[in-house]
Amino acid sequence: MAGLRWKRIVIKVGSALIAPAGKGCSTRYLLAIARFISECKLQGTEVVLVSSGSVAAGRAAIAFSHQPLPINVKQAMAAIGQSQMMMMWSQLLDWPCAQLLLTHDDFRDRKRYLNIDNTLRTLLSHQALPIINENDTVATAELKVGDNDNLAAMVAIVVDADALIICSDINGLYTANPRTEPTAAFIPQVDAITPEIYAMAGGSHHAIGTGGMLTKLQAAAKATTQGIDTLIINGQQASSFEALLQGQPVGTLFCAQPVQLSARKHWLLHSSKASATVTLDAGAVAALLHKGASLLVKGVVALQGEFDKGDAIWLVDQQGQKLAKGVSQYSAPELNKIKGVHSSEISALLGYCPSEVAVHRDDLVLMEQAG
């Protein structure tokens, strides 16, 4: 028996597996998943669990019939359901279970990002099972990752996992939706996530997904570009986990890609949040794309949105095309005063010059590197 070939995995379990009826936790599918986690640990494979389902788990505890659910009601349900979900995992597993509730803010802040890394590695070294969920009880729209597929990919990158296993309610990726297209063909392996692959999920990687196959592909793209194998398997079938434990093919495997970005630049591209844009002139665009240069303030022609020094910003051309994401050396008001001038003039205009560039090349990643 071959066994698992990975030494550290992140497994993502969705609400449909936690609470199949949407009204409280159920062990219907989780017994097989818990056994899989235990067998992984016995084989010497470290496991991090990303578990959705807190709202569904707590839904029965609060009587509310109107749809859609108001945000305060959903957050209250999540507060109740999270403890129930953790209690269920603790009862199913013979390992210490640790709870981590995260928001997008925790990933985009570099210090918090490193703290997540340190906490997870310490838990793993002490044989504990980290169980992670988005902090639905307090997260606002601006702070939410939005879905636990992408959250799981971010976690896999933080802990330098070998594999990300996303448990779904279908067998993997198909050429079309198998529920509505009888001719949809199953795809056992994807060597590279291309626009054609995204089209099979009904969208592009630029679309904003909140669930379903599209977010799973987005998560696979994030993970595979960091050298992490990604699997989408049917989590409702115990045979999926038996096959994994025996080293047999199951689900759709998205093959890890050669790593091209440093951890810092990958964090900047995928985990930092940017809303403001800085428009560049043609010279700055050429220097950015073809010379690997920093962005000088002279190349800035316009700004849109508010940001502080140290915030991530989008760098766009004069047609509005996103070219890169970078960390600004100046706040929006400061950059607005000095845009278009030579670096030697910054001190005269501001009274100080903390940096001769608007964005340093080490704090900048091109969109073409996104994969």
Return d(Cα 242, Cα 233) in angstroms, integer. Answer: 12
List the structure tokens of 229.
């194998």
Give all domains of the chain, ordered by start, each with its CATH number: 8-260 (3.40.1160.10), 274-370 (2.30.130.10)
Coil vs helix vs strand at 193: coil
pLDDT the model gives residue 266: 81
**113, pLDDT greater than 60:** yes
- Please compute the mean of the pLDDT values over residues 97-115 and round it to a whole number: 86
pLDDT the model gives residue 335: 97
* Nearest C-alpha neighbor of 143 from the set 322, 330, 275, 324: 275
Residues forming a β-bridge with 168:
234
Q: Which positions ≥6 away from 212 have C-beta within 8 Å?
A: 201
Return d(Cα 13, Cα 53) in angstroms, integer. Answer: 9
3-class DSSP string for 76-104: HHHHHHHHHHHHHHHHHCCCCEEEEEECH
Return d(Cα 106, Cα 115) in angstroms, integer. Answer: 9
pLDDT the model gives residue 207: 44
Q: How many CA atoms lie within 13 A of 67 on its CB side?
A: 1
pLDDT the model gives residue 265: 83
Whether the CB-CB separation of 251 and 231 falls below 8 Å is answered with yes
pLDDT the model gives residue 371: 54
What is the DSSP code string of 53-77? -HHHHHGGGS----SSPPHHHHHHH
- Please compute the mean of the pLDDT values over residues 8-33 and round it to a whole number: 91
Cis, peptide link before residue 68, omega less than 30° from 0: yes
Return d(Cα 330, Cα 308) in angstroms, integer. Answer: 7
- Please compute the mean of the pLDDT values over residues 317-342 and round it to a whole number: 95
* Nearest C-alpha neighbor of 120 from the set 221, 42, 50, 17: 50
Q: What is the pTM of this model?
A: 0.75
DSSP 295: B
Weakest-pLDDT range from 215-229, 237-251, 356-370: 356-370
Question: Looking at per-residue confidence, does 129 or 311 come out higher?
Answer: 129
What's the burial of 249, exposed, middle or buried (CB within 10 Å: 0-12/13-18/19+)?
Answer: exposed
What is the tens place of the pLDDT at every residue in 130-172?
Answer: 999 988 666 555 445 568 899 999 999 989 899 999 999 889 9
- Give percent above pLDDT 90 in the chain: 63
pLDDT the model gives residue 142: 47
What is the tens place of the pLDDT at every residue in 244-278?
Answer: 999 999 999 999 998 777 777 888 888 888 989 99
- Greatest mean pLDDT among 55-59, 132-136, 146-150, 225-229 lies in 225-229
pLDDT the model gives residue 244: 95
- Please compute the mean of the pLDDT values over residues 194-210 and round it to a whole number: 67
Mean pLDDT of the chain: 89
- Please compute the mean of the pLDDT values over residues 1-9 and round it to a whole number: 78
pLDDT the model gives residue 308: 92
List the structure tokens of 99.
């709870």
- Please compute the mean of the pLDDT values over residues 176-184 and round it to a whole number: 87
- Give percent above pLDDT 70 in the chain: 93
- Please compute the mean of the pLDDT values over residues 270-292 and round it to a whole number: 93
**210, pLDDT greater than 70:** no
pLDDT the model gives residue 143: 44
Q: Which positions ≥6 away from 90 have C-beta within 8 Å?
A: 97
Whether the CB-CB separation of 79 and 162 falls below 8 Å is answered with no
